[in-house]
Structure 1
Amino acid sequence: MHIHRILKNILLFILLAVILCLSLIWQNHYIGLSICFVVVSMVFLLYRFEKRKIEAGELVLLAVLAAIAAVGRVPFASIPSVQPTTFVILMSGFVFGAESGFVIGATAALASNMILGQGPWTPWQMAAWGLVGFTAGLLRHTSFMKRTWGRIIFGIVWGFLFGWIMNIWGFFSFAQSEGTMSIKALISYFAASSLFDSMHAISNIFFLLIFGNIWIKNLSRFKKKYGLFDEK
C-alpha cells in the first residue's frame, strides 16, 4: 500500500472518529451525522479510483449489495444478533476491496435502520459494519483470508468486535445520562452482552460455512465478467 493511501485511510478514520464523538454529544442529530458518515465513506471510495472515473455499474452493484445486507436483517430481527448482514458485508469487502466493503457496510446499517428504527446508535453501527468490510478487503490477499478456516476465524472475531464497538456507544450514552462511570460498570456492560456477541459469531460461522464459497465464486465471476472495481 502506497504512503498516500495510508495517509488517506488515516484521515478517513480521524474524520469518522470525530463523527462518532459528536454522536455522543449531539445524540438528537444522529440522522445528520449518519448522512455525513455516508458522504465521507463515498469520498473515501472515489479516492480509490483517483486515476479513473467510477463506473455506473459499480455504484449499482454497491447499492444492490448494501440493500441485500440491509434487508437481510429484517427476517432475523426477532433473534438478537443473528443475521446475515455481517456475512454479506464481509464477502463484499473480500471480493471488491476495503473501500467498497466499508461503503457497503456503512450504507447497509443506515438503510436497515430505516426499517428497524433509527437512533443515536446508527453512526456506531455504520462504523462497526463499515470496518467489517474494510478489514475483510484489507486482508483479502493474505493466505489467512484465502482459506475457509481463516474467514471463519475472521467472522468469529468480528462477531465479538461488533458488539464491543456498540458497547462503547451504549456505555458512554448510559454514563452520560446517569452520570455514573467506572471500570466495574464497563466490565459489567461488556459481560452482559457476551451472549449476544456469541450468537453473532455463531451466525457468522453458519453463513460462512454454508454460503461462503458460493458467494466468493459468484461475486468474483461478476467482477471479472464486467471488469468492475479494476484499479489498474
Structure 2
Amino acid sequence: MLLIKSKKMRDMIRIAVPFIAVPMITIVGAVAFDEKKHIIISLAVAVSALLLFAAGFEKKSTGTRRMVIVAVMVALCFAGRFIPFLKPIAALTIITALYLGSEAGFLVGSLSAILSNFYFGQGPWTAFQMLAWGLIGFFAGLLADRLLKSRVLLLIYGAAAGLAYSFIMDIWTVLWYNQGFDINLYLAALVTAIPYTVSYAVSNVLFLYLLAPPFGEKLQRIKIKYGV
C-alpha cells in the first residue's frame, strides 16, 4: 500500500487530483484522443483516484483497512447498477464519503463507474462518469460534519448531486455531438435531459433515505472497532 508521508504533499494531492488533474485528463481525453483510446483515459483517472486515496491516510495499516471497506462499497455499487431505473451508486458513494472521508468517496465513485462499465459498456463517457461520481463523493466528505447532523441536508445534497451528475455528463454530450463545447448546445442538452436529471435526483434521495441509517451505523461501528 502506497504511503505518502509528507503532509504538504498529501494536501497538494487532495487539491490537485480532484480539481485539476482528473478534470483535465477527462476533458483533454474527450477532445484530443481517438475514441478507441478511451480506456487509457479511464485508467488514468483510476490511477489518479488511487493516488488521491493514498493521500488520505497516514498509517499503512489504516489505509489497508479502508481499502477493504472501499472494495466492499464498490462491489455494492457495481451490483446496484443492475437495479432498473433507479441506481444507488451516488447514494452509496456519498455514504462512504461521510464515514471514510473525501478520498474514499472519490475512489468509490470513480472505480464504480469504470468497473461496472466493463459490463455495461466502456466508452469516452466513462471518464466523465468517474469524474461526476468521484466529485459527488469528494464534496460529501468535505461536508460530512453538516450532512451527518441533518438528514434533511443530506437528502438535499443527494438531490443536488443528481443535478450535478447530469450537468457533468451533458458536457460530454456536447463534446461528442459538436466536437467542441458550445454553450447553446449545452443548455439544450440540459433541457432535453430533464427527465433523466429528475430520476437521478429522486434516486439519490430515495436511496439515501433508505440506506444512510443502516449503512451509516455499520460503517461507524467498523471505524470504531478497527480504528479506520
Name the TM-score, length of structure 1 as normaliser: 0.87
The separation in 2 between residues aligned to 1:168 and 1:127, in whole angstroms, is: 12
Q: 1:106 is matched with which residue: 103, 107, 110?
A: 110
The equivalent residue for 1:61 is: 69
Instruction: Report the count of equivalent residues.
Output: 218
- The CA deviation string for residues 104-131 of structure 1, in whole angstroms up to 9 with x for no partner, is 1110011111111111000000000001
Residue 145 of structure 2 aligns to a residue whose secondary structure is coil
The equivalent residue for 2:125 is: 121
Q: 2:41 is matched with which residue: 11, 33, 36?
A: 33
Cα displacement (A) at 1:227: 1.4
Give the letter aligned to residue 94 of structure 2: L
The equivalent residue for 2:3 is: none
* 1:1-232 map, 5 Å: 6-12=11-17, 13-24=19-30, 25-26=32-33, 27-49=35-57, 51-54=58-61, 55-76=63-84, 79=85, 82-142=86-146, 144-176=147-179, 182-228=182-228
Residue 141 of structure 1 aligns to a residue whose secondary structure is helix
Give the letter aligned to residue 40 of structure 2: G
Give the letter aligned to residue 52 of structure 1: K
Give the letter aligned to residue 160 of structure 1: L
Name the TM-score, length of structure 2 as normaliser: 0.89
Cα displacement (A) at 1:155: 0.3
**8 Å Cα contact 1:74-1:116 kept in structure 2:** no
| Deviant stretches of 4+, over 2 Å | 2-10, 54-58, 181-186
The separation in 2 between residues aligned to 1:203 and 1:122, in whole angstroms, is: 20
- The CA deviation string for residues 130-177 of structure 1, in whole angstroms up to 9 with x for no partner, is 0111111111012x542100000000001111011000011111101x
Residue 149 of structure 2 aligns to a residue whose secondary structure is coil
The separation in 1 between residues aligned to 2:216 and 2:77, in whole angstroms, is: 15
The separation in 1 between residues aligned to 2:10 and 2:43, in whole angstroms, is: 24
Q: Aligned-pair RMSD on alpha carbons? A: 1.8
Richer in helix (by share): 2
**8 Å Cα contact 2:66-2:100 kept in structure 1:** no
User: Unaligned stretches of 5+ in structure 1?
Assistant: none
- The CA deviation string for residues 19-41 of structure 1, in whole angstroms up to 9 with x for no partner, is 11222121321111111111111
User: Unaligned stretches of 5+ in structure 2?
Assistant: 1-6
